[in-house]
A and B are shown apart, each in its own frame.
Chain A
Amino acid sequence: MTNQNQQAKNQESKIYWLDRPSSVTLVYRSIWVICGLLAIADFFYTHHPIFNFEKFPAFYGLFGFIVCVGLVLGVKELRKVLKRDEDYYDR
């Protein structure tokens, strides 16, 4: 039991890398950088497109970004219709 308490205390006192706002910003910025590099990489290899729209530069990246933003914003609206209290079926 004391061991557990010790462990909990250690977890409490230790400052984790992700606790610092600066690290979170670093992660956030590196995602931007990786995306930029991947978009540029698109110009440096031979494509084997099956569909014509695949030829658009960074098609996959743009498609992924746009559908995800659209999806989340759409779901926020959907939630207004579908959301009920947690105990909806238990009442």
Chain B
Amino acid sequence: MIADLPPGLILILGALAVPIIPTWARRYYMLALPSLGLLHLLTLPDGLQGQVEMFGHTLTFLRIDGLATAFGIIFLMATFIFMIYGWHEIEVLQHISALIYAGAAVGAVFVGDLITLFIFWELTAIASVFLIWARRTERAYWAGLRYLVFQIGSGVILLAGLALHYRATGSIAFVHLGLVSLGTTLIFIAFGIKCAFPMLHNWLQDAYPEATVFGTVVLSAFTTKLAIYALARGYAGTEMLIWIGALMTVFPIFYAIIENDLRRVLAYNLNTQLGFMVVGIGIGTELAINGAVAHAFTGILYQALLFMSMGAVLYKVGTVKASELGGLHKSMPITAGFCIVGAASISAFPLFAGFVSKTIILTAVAVEGHWLVWLVLLFASASVLHYSGIKIPFFAFFAHDSGKRCEEAPRSMLIAMGITAAICVGIGVWPSGLYQILPFPVDFVPYTTAHVITQLQLLMFSALAFSVLMRTGLYPPQLRSTNLDSDWFYRRLGPAILRSLRDTVSQIYLSALLRTHIRLQRFVATVYRHHGPQGALARTWPTGSTVLWVAVLLCVTLFLYYV
């Protein structure tokens, strides 16, 4: 039984024991859990294991293959790094929440059927919302609620799709599904919500920047990459994904440039990176899937690194608004250095992690002849440098000196960032290690002269564009602002429609009530007139007049009788 214990359950069950561990041992214990999970995962043989009979279905908790293992490894690695990053955090709630959340994500990666997937899918939603609420602000509370609505909604749609799919095919296996029926389409939408497809995306930019310093870092890794895994498993080669992904890479860019909250800039940027992976999955060739998985792997690392550096700034300075920051390289030189490594990785500079994964996707797209999508991705690559590679470190650590002075980040944060930065450079310099754990055999050389020169050209000329625009003052200033995104529809338009609907209905109701009231009054008045004390029908008549009327009636009868 121990042999086929799912690695995710090690984290989930282990997290439940955290409160009873003595404080001094707690941090080491929390580092031990993901390490144990990773060691256990590496000893598991390929194939289906951990099967349980339940409700007449065979639930598979462990399906070990290349795709699942790659995601399992990076999730557990990330959990380990995050636990170091959260070392300073004394609140146990956040640690437990993060461990259960990570465990659920790891668990979901290894399931072999849709029912078990649904269970872990919902668990990631419920466990992670506490990382947002732990910020304990009014904004975080509401953002957390909106986040929960989207996440639980995704789960409910998944359940509906699963039920329809089971009725149509009699199978609950989580294998390649494709867009073939209503059931699989619903499952696709459920995955799409967690993957932040265009117009389903805004829960991400809304909620992630409102979470705690530690929470945002943890959130950045799991939910969206789990969705990438699920899409790669169920919908590889679905052409629609190519277009969805291309759109996803482009539109967050516009927001990222004018966004002031640097953690929100990173959230938009996360969305762009997901777009690259979705395009890879849509292409669906072995090369493209390898690219998507590799990009998810490196993406978790460099995005976490950037979120960690901005978290450190928030922790020490108390704000991550570009308009308030600047010149922090004087106070936090080491954090600035790690941030630049993250920025170089996300921009895909040669010798950094992003380069060896993004190049695979771009090549896979070009080989299949999608020139338009390829140009879109190239555009996104150039802009990523612009708004993430340069904007984040530039406005936080350089630009004009804001006069803000603080200490360097705590040692635990620096260690976590240092490890991540080292892995980012390590993967960039020796990509073969990463390529070995990809689901398909890799026959790809990232470091050709053409790749390196063209990529450097793209990036340096984009940097030149930034410098020229800065020097000439054409670059838009960083302003305190809120930019309207698709959340406007449910935070402003939706409530406004409901409000006006409520007003109209209540007006109609009130006027109807008033009219009925008037009619009733008139009716009562009429009745009163006829039957009231003075009414003709209520008068008491004297006996004489009755006799007279009887006589008249008798006369009429007599007359009619003779006629």
Contacts and interface: CB of A to CB of B under 8 A. Distances in A.
Interface of A: 4, 7-8, 11-12, 14, 16, 18-19, 27-28, 31-32, 34-35, 38-39, 41-42, 45-48, 50-51, 58-65, 67-69, 71-76, 78-79, 81-90
B43 interface: no
B446 to A, nearest CB: 14
B483 A58 contact: no
B444 to A, nearest CB: 13
Contacts of A31: 460, 463-464, 467
A82 B256 CA distance: 12
B405 A11 contact: yes
Contacts of B407: 4, 7
B476 A64 contact: no
A64 B382 contact: yes
A50 B469 contact: no
A72 B257 contact: yes
Contacts, number: 144
Contact of B491 (A28, A85, A89): A89
Nearest to B476: A76
B257 A38 contact: no
Nearest to B469: A72
Interface in B452-486: 453-469, 471, 474-476, 479-485
Most buried by B among A14, A28, A65, A81: A65
Given A45-B450, A63-B378, A67-B382, A39 B366 contact: no
Contacts of A81: 484
Given A12-B405, A47-B450, A72-B474, A67 B366 contact: no
B484 A82 contact: yes
Given A31-B463, A64-B459, A78-B254, 6 more contacts: A11-B330, A38-B453, A38-B456, A61-B460, A81-B484, A84-B482
Contacts of B26: none
B371 interface: yes
Contacts of A76: 476
A61 B232 CA distance: 33
22 contacts: A11-B405, A28-B471, A31-B464, A31-B467, A35-B460, A38-B457, A42-B457, A48-B450, A60-B378, A61-B460, A64-B465, A67-B382, A68-B382, A69-B465, A72-B257, A73-B474, A75-B254, A79-B258, A79-B476, A83-B258, A88-B482, A90-B138
Interface in B104-127: none
B367 interface: yes
B457 A60 contact: yes
A4 to B, nearest CB: 7
B374 interface: yes
A65 B484 contact: no
Contacts of B458: 60-61, 63-64
A8 to B, nearest CB: 5
Contacts of A28: 467, 471
B452 to A, nearest CB: 10
For the complex, would chain A's binding face be called helix, strand, loop or mixed by DSSP majority?
helix
B257 A11 contact: no
Contacts of A84: 481-484
Contacts of A8: 405
A62 B204 CA distance: 33
Closest 5 CB pairs of A and B: A68-B465, A61-B457, A61-B461, A64-B461, A60-B457
Nearest to A9: B405
B511 interface: no
Nearest to B371: A51
B366 A51 contact: yes
B374 A51 contact: yes
Interface string B279-290: 000000000000
B430 interface: no
Contacts of A47: 450
A63 B382 contact: yes
Contacts of A48: 448, 450
A75 B259 CA distance: 11
Given A48-B450, A76-B476, A67 B379 contact: yes
A87 B139 CA distance: 11
B379 A42 contact: no
Interface string B350-390: 00000000000000001100010010001100110010000
Most buried by B among A31, A32, A73: A31
A34 to B, nearest CB: 5
